[in-house]
A and B are shown apart, each in its own frame.
Chain A
């Protein structure tokens, strides 16, 4: 019995806009800034500390490094997985740098750099939840599995769950609230986010898949048709990979377990 509840669909799949003619390299030069899309709740990747509003994470470091490479200041644009494609296509930013999982749906609309992280899917439940003890307890009747809208988990879980109820929240925070309030039993997330949950809340409990469940490669995303820009970013990434800056940033953020060369 599979019930898919789509509680809120704030945005639907919109028609793609006309191709952008002007190259991003030139735009960046003209505007003298590099606009980088980030999801500021992405702990270890692109996280804005609400107490200081300081940004930190691998991709923040990399974005700054890219700005330096291009000799332009970086302007961070808040985005999310739900608005990612639009934000890129509408040129709200030159590049999205927040460890974006390469999914087939996204790959249709976006161009990804070579991935630098790879993560499986993890479940977060409450410590007091008596139903969910192991991964196998997730896909059971009556279990409510929350995912954030637009995340790769939404698609993956929609595909994977056979008996449990999938609850898609509008926001990533929503899925946490659902679980904490007990309306959902677990929410699905990736390795970096699960780490954040464990570190910052005292109610979260991690449920890991016993074996590889669904690996997702994380990379940066940009418009598809700007080869020059893509080359430039790729060159940059090759450079930071080569000089170790990328790895140093990964290690600094304690994500070296999921680093991908």
Chain B
């Protein structure tokens, strides 16, 4: 716009400039024409006046008359053929000699043409001074000469002094000095008249001359040497040898235009300035707004970019309705924008958090305006995933919550990564076994737990013998394969709760928590496990085709009461391992030498016991059981070990070991088999058919899933009468699983096998299982029986048990009856079966039979005979 206005103004001014110039040129031409007209007309009058005067016979008198109305003439004179004035309106001119050569147009012969001389100084011919330059004179005239032919053929010469002032007046009235300059030139270029005060210079320059050659009239611009530009308009007189030149300063003629232009420029400039100022103000304002707008847009863009971040974002209103979600939200949750908007975040609820979790969350949100934490949410596809959720409450100007902004990050990967890190931190990458760190954690836990519950545990250090040689010979890859295989075998040897760890290299550790309440048992179990591991690791390995045999050394330390810290235990186990290595490798060693010793003994005992079974060093003894009449009606079968060197060993010295080692099962079966064989024999002997045998059954036996079948098989095999067999169970054996026990007992019971509850009163003596289990007999433990005469409590217990037995219609047998008083007490309180030294200690079969025969001899002689027959078999 600015350029347009400037251009338009410039264009208008330029056009005005050109118009002004054109007009001024036209005006100058017009002025030139007017002046030339005036000159030519004046000269025409002069020519006619002179012509008239020339032929006037009384011219001398009439000259003043001729001059009267001719202000352009100062004088009229007549010259003789010698060009000397002989008559004049001004008497002083008479006698003046004229020089015809100075007049133009020049002619040697008279010609009837008005001719002009150069500018003469003075008022008239009379005071013309040739020595003074006309330009410097204050009074000049132009001499005119006319040869006028007369009727008689002669010529009269008339001369006139042309009044320059007259023309000058005329010029001045047309053009003031400051408007321009009028020059009257003789046709040869001589300056005759010039208005204004400028001294006459050379005005007839080549330019004018050239222009005149082209045309008698015209105009042009000319630059003066001093730089001034002039408009020159010229016009030659139509008839006379004169030229009118009007010269105007270009600046001057453009002065008006310049004033107008200045005014226009001023006005337009002011308007433009105002416009520019206003525009500037608006522009600045606009710029400012634009900057603000850009900044806002930038912030919006940033906000939008931030909103579309990797984190899922959703915005809800105060009522918890979702208003906006971002792409990441859709990606994480699986819900599209359309599905999510309008819903509440409950959409994402996994159901994994209890209501209290959410209540707490809202409480904190309202309290602190934000909440962040780990939360399980559900994706659209049902996947439950962990996310890190941050909720910020947005408040409005009234400090009321207007929106909630929630950002959520799916931390499934993070959790996975954490697990990975945890794996790296806690597990050995090669074997995937827990590393030292995790082991120590577990160990800490186990020792604490052991201390609290009084559970014995064990720590096993396992080292492969000559592992370095393997690495050196077959390479590390083989070593690694071996380690992986070892790890696998170790895991196969242990329980669920145990920990197999690798410390590095070929060093493995097995942590066995909660082995047993009893130290010996625990140690034994540890030892056995150690042995099992040793044997397992001794099995040849197939290492990528290489058959390899490895042996381990195993060191064990026990822990129970938490008195030793983990480090100490590790040290001990390591020492035990060192001890095992020292002992020749491929062996298991305990840290505690005493324990090592006792375990060794137990090991040898076990071996001996195994030997005993195969060598039939086990022998059965029978303790008689009598009724209230003192008649022997049966016996309890008792096991003894006839050790080759140690002699006859009582059951408490080897039964626990047998239980522990599982040897109890073959032993138990053997005892049952022998007893059933005996029962079969008894059944076939007269006088003994009702003789019954009580056989102890260990809990381990009863726990055998096929216990029922085993018993049935033996009964079937021996064809023994089931109703003569009484299986004695201990409370502890039964109580492990009453249902299972009952299930196993009932079929046998149906078969006629009876069951006795041994050591009744020492355990829980729950009446419940008395009701549930098919029990036929209760055996009062001898500890109570022996105290009936001295201990009120024992007596009370015994009385109660007897009462209970009677009430439940159970046979009650009192064990350990050693005195008559005891017998009397028991008898008095309704006990009808007894067992004890009072009636007979455990006896070999022969002695039992003798006793039976003796009893029979007292009663019936044939009974005795029959008994003899049996015994002799």
Asked if residues A203 and B169 are in contact (CB atoms below 8 Å), the reply is yes
Are A127 and B172 in contact, with the CB atoms below 8 A? yes
In the bound complex, how far is the Cα of B165 from the Cα of A30, in angstroms?
Answer: 55
What are 18 inter-chain pairs, A to B, with CB distance below 8 A? Answer: A126-B169, A127-B169, A127-B172, A127-B173, A128-B164, A128-B165, A128-B166, A128-B168, A128-B169, A128-B172, A130-B139, A142-B127, A142-B139, A144-B123, A181-B163, A181-B166, A182-B74, A203-B169
Residues on B with C-beta less than 8 A from A181 are: 67, 70-74, 163, 166
Taken residue by residue from 124 to 155, chain A's Cβ proximity to chain B (1 for < 8 Å, 0 otherwise) reads as: 00111111000000000010100000000000
Does B172 lie within 8 Å of A182, measured CB to CB? no
Interface residues of B (CB under 8 A from A): 67-75, 90, 123-124, 127, 138-139, 141, 163-166, 168-169, 172-173, 195
For residue B218, give the distance in angstroms from its CB to the closest CB of chain A: 27
Closest B residue to A125 using CB positions: B165
Residues on B with C-beta less than 8 A from A208 are none
A199 to chain B, nearest CB (A): 15
From residue A114, how far is it (CB to closest CB) to chain B in Å?
Answer: 39
Closest CB in chain A relative to B182 CB, distance in Å: 12
Q: 7 tightest CB-CB pairs across the interface, nearest first?
A: A128-B168, A180-B71, A182-B163, A130-B138, A128-B165, A203-B169, A181-B71
Chain A residues within 8 Å of B138, by CB = 130-131
Q: Is there an interface contact between A180 and B75, defined as CB atoms closer than 8 Å?
A: no
Q: Once the chains are docked, how many angstroms separate the CA of A177 from the CA of B70?
A: 8
Q: CA–CA, A126 to B166, complex, Å?
A: 8
| A180 adjacent to B90 (CB under 8 Å) | no
Q: Is A183 an interface residue (CB 8 A)?
A: yes
Chain A residues with Cβ below 8 Å from B127 are 142
Is A202 close to B, CB under 8 A?
yes
Which of these, A127, A142, A174, A183, contacts B90 with CB under 8 Å? Answer: A183
Most buried by A among B69, B70, B169: B169
Residues of chain A at the chain B interface (Cβ within 8 Å): 126-131, 142, 144, 174, 177, 180-183, 202-203
Give the dominant DSSP class at B's interface: mixed
Shortest beta-carbon distance from A141 to chain B in Å: 11
A127 to B71, CA, bound (A): 14
A157 to B139, CA, bound (A): 23
Other contacts beyond A128-B169, A180-B71, A181-B72: 4, CB < 8 A: A127-B173, A142-B123, A177-B68, A183-B124
Selected from A130, A142, A174, A180, the residue in CB contact (under 8 A) with B166 is: A180
Residues of B within 8 A of A126 (CB): 165-166, 169
- Residues on B with C-beta less than 8 A from A182 are 71, 74, 123, 139, 141, 163-166
With A181-B67, A181-B163, A203-B169 in contact, is A131–B74 under 8 Å at CB?
Answer: no
A131 closest partner in B (C-beta):
B138
Q: A127-B172, A130-B139, A177-B67 are in contact. Are A183 and B165 (CB under 8 A)?
A: no
CB distance from A116 to the nearest CB of B (A): 34
Q: Are A183 and B74 in contact (CB under 8 A)?
A: yes
Complex contacts, B165 vs chain A, CB 8 Å: 126, 128-129, 182
> Chain A residues near B71 (CB, 8 Å)?
177, 180-182, 203
Chain B CB within 10 A, most for which of A131, A144, A174, A183: A183
For B171, give the chain A residue with the smallest CB separation.
Answer: A128
Asked, given contacts A177-B67, A180-B71, whether A131 binds B169 with beta carbons under 8 Å apart, the answer is no
Residues of B within 8 A of A174 (CB): 68
How far is B70's CA from A131's CA once the two chains are assembled, in angstroms?
A: 22
Docked Cα-Cα span, A174 to B169, in Å, equals 19
Q: How far is the CA of A130 from the CA of B123 in the complex (A)?
A: 12
Q: Tell me how far the C-beta of B764 lies from the nearest C-beta in chain A, rounded to whole angstroms.
A: 164
Q: Which residues of B contact A142 (CB under 8 A)?
A: 123, 127, 139
- The distance from the CB of A3 to the nearest CB of chain B, in whole angstroms, is 11
CA–CA, A160 and B234, complex, Å:
47
- Closest beta carbon of chain A to B394's beta carbon, Å: 97
Residue of B nearest to A202 (CB): B173
Most buried by B among A129, A181, A203: A181
A residues within 8 A CB of B69? 177
Q: How many Å lie between the Cα of A183 and that of B73 in the bound state?
A: 9
Q: Kindly provide the distance from the CB of A125 to the nearest chain B CB, expressed in whole angstroms.
A: 10
> Bound state CA distance, A58 and B72, in angstroms?
35
Q: For the complex, what is the distance from the CA of A177 to the CA of B89, rounded to whole Å?
A: 14
Name the residue among A142, A177, A180, A182 with the largest chain B CB count within 10 angstroms.
A182
Within the complex, what minimum Cβ distance (angstroms) separates B445 from chain A? 138
Closest partner residue, chain B, to A181 (CB atom): B71
Chain A residues near B70: list those with CB within 8 A. Answer: 181
The answer to whether B173 touches A183, judged by C-beta atoms less than 8 angstroms apart, is: no
A86 CA to B231 CA in the complex, in Å?
Answer: 61
**A144-B127 Cα distance, complex, nearest whole Å:** 13
**Using Cβ atoms and an 8 Å threshold, which residues of chain A touch B141?**
182
Q: Considering the chains assembled together, what is the distance between the CA atoms of A205 and B762 in angstroms?
A: 172
A169 to B74, CA, bound (A): 15
User: Taking CB as reference atom, which chain A residue is nearest B72?
Assistant: A181
The answer for the CA separation of A69 and B844 in the assembled complex, in Å, is: 215
CB distance from B253 to the nearest CB of A (A): 23
- List, in ascending order, chain A residues with CB within 8 A of B172's CB: 127-128
Nearest B residue to A8 via CB reads B64
Give the residue name and chain of the B residue nearest to A173 (CB).
Answer: B68
Give the residues in chain B near A144, CB-CB below 8 Å: 123
Nearest CB in chain B: distance from A177 CB, A: 6
A5's nearest neighbour on chain B, judged by CB, is B91
A180 to B67, CA, bound (A): 11
In the assembled complex, the Cα of A142 lies from the Cα of B67 at a distance in Å of 21
Smallest CB separation, A149 vs chain B (Å): 14
Query: What is the minimal beta-carbon distance from B184 to any residue of chain A, in angstroms?
Result: 12
> Taking CB as reference atom, which chain A residue is nearest B161?
A182
Q: Give B173's nearest chain A residue, CB to CB.
A: A202
Minimum CB–CB distance from B136 to chain A (whole Å) comes to: 11
With CB as the reference atom, state the residue of chain A lying closest to B165.
A128
B543 to chain A, nearest CB (A): 144
Contact in complex: A183, B169 (CB < 8 Å): no
A183 touching B168, Cβ below 8 Å? no
A181 to B160 Cα, complex, angstroms: 12
Q: How far is the CA of A14 from the CA of B195 in the complex (A)?
A: 49
B139 nearest in chain A by CB position: A131
B300 to chain A, nearest CB (A): 85
Q: How far, in angstroms, from A180 to B164 measured CA to CA in the complex?
A: 11
In the assembly, what is the distance between CA of A129 and CA of B195, in Å?
A: 11
Cα–Cα, bound, A130→B199 (Å) = 13
Task: Determine the distance from Cα of A129 to Cα of B165 in the docked complex, in whole angstroms.
Answer: 7
- Cα–Cα, bound, A78→B756 (Å): 199
Query: Considering the chains assembled together, what is the distance between the CA atoms of A129 and B139 in angstroms?
Result: 8
B166 partner residues in chain A, CB cutoff 8 A: 126, 128, 180-182, 203
Question: What's the least CB distance linking A204 to chain B, in Å?
Answer: 9
- A144–B169 CA distance with the chains assembled, in angstroms: 19
Task: A16 to B391: give the CA distance in the assembly, Å.
Answer: 145
The CA of A261 and the CA of B173, in the complex, are separated in Å by 40
Expressed in whole angstroms, the minimum distance between the Cβ of B765 and any Cβ of chain A is: 169
What's the minimum C-beta distance from B61 to chain A, rounded to whole angstroms?
Answer: 12
Are B139 and A183 in contact (CB-based, < 8 A)?
no
A202 touches B169 (CB 8 A): yes
State in angstroms the CA–CA spacing of A209 and B172 once bound together: 25
A203 to B72, CA, bound (A): 12
B644 to nearest A CB, angstroms?
A: 183
Q: How many Å from the CB of B545 to the closest CB on chain A? A: 145
CB distance from A139 to the nearest CB of B (A): 16
* Closest partner residue, chain B, to A179 (CB atom): B71
Nearest-CB residue, chain A, relative to B89:
A183
**In the complex, which of the residues A180, A183, A203 contacts B123, with contact meaning CB atoms closer than 8 Å?**
A183
Q: Nearest-CB distance from A50 to chain B (Å)?
A: 15
Nearest chain B residue, comparing its CB with the CB of A203: B169
Q: Give bound CA distance, A202 to B171, whole Å.
A: 11
> Which B residues touch A129, using CB under 8 A?
165
CB distance from A173 to the nearest CB of B (A): 8
Min CB distance B424 to A, Å, is: 124
The answer for the CA separation of A126 and B172 in the assembled complex, in Å, is 11
B162's nearest neighbour on chain A, judged by CB, is A182
Cα separation A180 to B165 with both chains bound (whole Å): 8
- What A residues does B67 contact at CB under 8 A? 177, 181
Q: How far is the CA of A203 from the CA of B127 in the complex (A)?
A: 24
